[in-house]
Structure 1
Amino acid sequence: MIKKCLKVVLFITLISFVGCQKDDDYETISVESGEELLGGSTTVFNASEEAFGFAASQLTFEERAAFGTGNSFFRQSWVSAPASTTARDGLGPFFNAVACASCHFKDGRGRPPSFDGETARGLLLRLSTDGFASDGSTLPDPIYGHQLQDNAILGQTVKGNFTITYQDITEYFADGTQVVLKKPVYNIATPGYGNLTSGIRISPRLANQIIGLGLLEALEEQTLLNLADPNDMDGDGISGRPNYVHDIAKNKTVMGRFGWKANQPNVKQQVAAAFSGDMGITSVLFPNENCPPGMDCDAIPNGGSPEITDSNLDKVALYASTLAVPVQRDFKNQNVLKGKKTFNAIGCANCHIPKLQTGNTHPIVALRNQTIRPYTDLLLHDMGNDLADNAPDFLASGTEWRTPALWGIGLLNTVNKSTFLMHDGRARSIEEAILWHGGEAQVSKSNYKKLSLQNRKDLLQFMNTL
Structure 2
Amino acid sequence: MRKKLLVLTGIAASMLLYLSCNKVFPDAPSDDQILDGPIEGLTPDQTRIFLQGDVAFNDEIFTTEKGLGPLFVANSCGSCHAGDGKGHPFTTLTRFGQTDTISNQFLHSGGPQLQNRAIVGFQPEQIPAGATFSKFTPPANTGLGLLEAVSDATLLALSDPNDANGDGISGRPNWISTPQYSLIRTGAAIKNGKYIGRFGKKAAVYDLMQQTVNAYNQDMGINSTYEHYDTYNGHEVNPEVSNQTVLAVIFYLQTLKAPIQRNINDQDVQAGKQLFINNGCASCHTPQMQTGHSNIAALSNKTFFPFTDLLLHDMGVGLDDGYTEGTALTSEWRTPPLWGLGLSKNSQGGQYFLMHDGRAKSIEEAILMHGGEGGQSKSNFQNLSQVEKARLIKFLESL
Cα deviation digits, residues 357-392 of structure 1 (max 9, x gap): 1112x1111011111000000000000010111213
Q: 1:78 to 1:413 in 2, by over 3 A?
A: closer
Once the two structures are TM-superposed, the CA of residue 263 in structure 1 deviates from its matched residue by 0.5
Say if 1:151 and 1:158, in contact at 8 Å, map to a contact too. yes
> Is 1:75 matched up with 2:58?
yes
Query: Which of 258, 267, 280 is 1:334 aligned to?
Result: 267
Q: Which residue of 2 aligns with 1:62?
A: 45
For 2:250, give the aligned amino acid: A
Unaligned runs of 5+ in 1: 1-43, 84-88, 113-119, 161-187, 189-195, 299-303
Q: 1:129 to 1:395 in 2, by over 3 A?
A: closer
Q: 1:277 to 1:354 in 2, by over 3 A?
A: same
Q: Secondary structure at the match of 1:451?
A: coil
For 2:246, give the aligned amino acid: L
Q: Which residue of 2 aligns with 1:52?
A: 35
Q: Secondary structure at the match of 1:244?
A: strand
Q: Secondary structure at the match of 1:142?
A: helix
Choose 207-216 or 415-424, whichever is displaced more: 415-424
Query: Which of 367, 370, 374 is 2:306 aligned to?
Result: 374
Once the two structures are TM-superposed, the CA of residue 326 in structure 1 deviates from its matched residue by 2.7
Matches of 1:405 and 1:430, distance apart in 2: 14
Say if 1:74 and 1:101, in contact at 8 Å, map to a contact too. yes
User: What TM-score do you get using the length of structure 1 for normalisation?
Assistant: 0.74
Once the two structures are TM-superposed, the CA of residue 93 in structure 1 deviates from its matched residue by 0.5
Q: Secondary structure at the match of 1:336?
A: helix
For 2:31, give the aligned amino acid: N
Q: Which residue of 2 aligns with 1:90?
A: 67
User: What TM-score do you get using the length of structure 2 for normalisation?
Assistant: 0.86
For 2:38, give the aligned amino acid: A
Unaligned runs of 5+ in 2: 1-28, 185-192
Q: Which residue of 2 aligns with 1:100?
A: 77
Q: Which residue of 1 aligns with 2:87?
A: 110
For 1:109, give the aligned amino acid: K
> Is 1:214 matched up with 2:140?
no
Matches of 1:285 and 1:351, distance apart in 2: 34
Task: Give the structure with the higher percent helix.
Answer: 2
> Is 1:123 matched up with 2:92?
yes
Q: Secondary structure at the match of 2:230?
A: coil
Alignment of 1:4-83 (within 5 A): 46-48=31-33, 51-81=34-64, 83=65
Alignment of 1:41-440 (within 5 A): 46-48=31-33, 51-81=34-64, 83=65, 89-112=66-89, 120=90, 122-129=91-98, 137-160=103-126, 196-198=128-130, 200-248=131-179, 249-250=181-182, 253-291=194-232, 295=233, 305-360=238-293, 362-416=294-348, 417-440=350-373
Say if 1:129 and 1:141, in contact at 8 Å, map to a contact too. no
Q: Secondary structure at the match of 1:342?
A: helix
For 1:441, give the aligned amino acid: G
For 2:215, give the aligned amino acid: A
* 4+ long deviations beyond 4 Å: 129-132, 295-298
Q: Secondary structure at the match of 2:108?
A: coil
Say if 2:87 and 2:137, in contact at 8 Å, map to a contact too. yes
Matches of 1:267 and 1:98, distance apart in 2: 20
- Taking only aligned residues, the RMSD between alpha carbons, in angstroms, comes to 1.9
Once the two structures are TM-superposed, the CA of residue 235 in structure 1 deviates from its matched residue by 1.1
Q: Which residue of 2 aligns with 1:38?
A: none
* Identity, % of aligned positions: 41
Matches of 1:253 and 1:310, distance apart in 2: 26
Cα deviation digits, residues 260-279 of structure 1 (max 9, x gap): 00000101111111111110
Once the two structures are TM-superposed, the CA of residue 155 in structure 1 deviates from its matched residue by 1.4
Q: Secondary structure at the match of 2:342?
A: helix
Matches of 1:297 and 1:75, distance apart in 2: 30
Q: 1:359 to 1:45 in 2, by over 3 A?
A: farther
Q: Secondary structure at the match of 1:464?
A: helix
Once the two structures are TM-superposed, the CA of residue 77 in structure 1 deviates from its matched residue by 4.1
Matches of 1:95 and 1:104, distance apart in 2: 16
Say if 1:57 and 1:366, in contact at 8 Å, map to a contact too. yes
* Higher relative contact order, chain-length normalized (CA < 8 Å, sep 6+): 1
Query: Which of 378, 381, 384 is 1:448 aligned to?
Result: 381
Matches of 1:422 and 1:296, distance apart in 2: 34
Once the two structures are TM-superposed, the CA of residue 45 in structure 1 deviates from its matched residue by 5.9
Structure showing greater Rg: 2
